[in-house]
Amino acid sequence: MPKSKGRRKPKQHPGPAKPEPKKHKESPTWYVAMMFSFMAVGALVVILNYIGVVPGGTDSIWLYSGLGLIGVGFVMTLYYY
């Protein structure tokens, strides 16, 4: 019985050029520092409110402003600048 020659391999054509690797986005240093500053100052305001050191005693406006600053810092973590 005769042996088959097998399939011929198709010619190798050069493929399309490789795409450029995507650049990694990084936030500037001042953005990261501001983000952590908002969180730290917000936490400090909340703590000082509960201790009663802030002017006006334990007023809810201080609590909400501290939580707002923490929230702003957290929202800043979600975005690149």
Q: pLDDT digit string (tens) for 14-69? A: 777 777 777 877 888 899 999 999 999 999 999 988 888 888 777 788 899 999 99
Q: Is the pLDDT of residue 81 over 90?
A: no
pLDDT: is 65 or 12 the higher one?
65
Tell me if 15 is assigned to some domain: no
Tell me if 23 is assigned to some domain: no
- Residues 81/73, Cβ–Cβ less than 8 Å: no
Q: How many CB atoms lie within 10 A of CB 39?
A: 18
Tell me if 22 is assigned to some domain: no
The residue among 48, 68, 66 whose CA lies nearest residue 58 is 48
Structurally, the chain folds into a number of domains equal to: 1
Instruction: Say how far apart CA 77 and CA 64 lie, in whole Å.
Output: 20
pLDDT: is 71 or 55 the higher one?
71
Q: Is the pTM of this model over 0.85?
A: no
DSSP character at residue 52: T
Tell me if 12 is assigned to some domain: no
Tell me if 6 is assigned to some domain: no
Tell me if 5 is assigned to some domain: no
pLDDT: is 70 or 13 the higher one?
70
Tell me if 67 is assigned to some domain: yes
Q: What is the dihedral of CA 45, 49, 51, 52, to 10 degrees?
A: 130
Tell me if 52 is assigned to some domain: yes
Question: Domain limits at 54?
Answer: 29-77
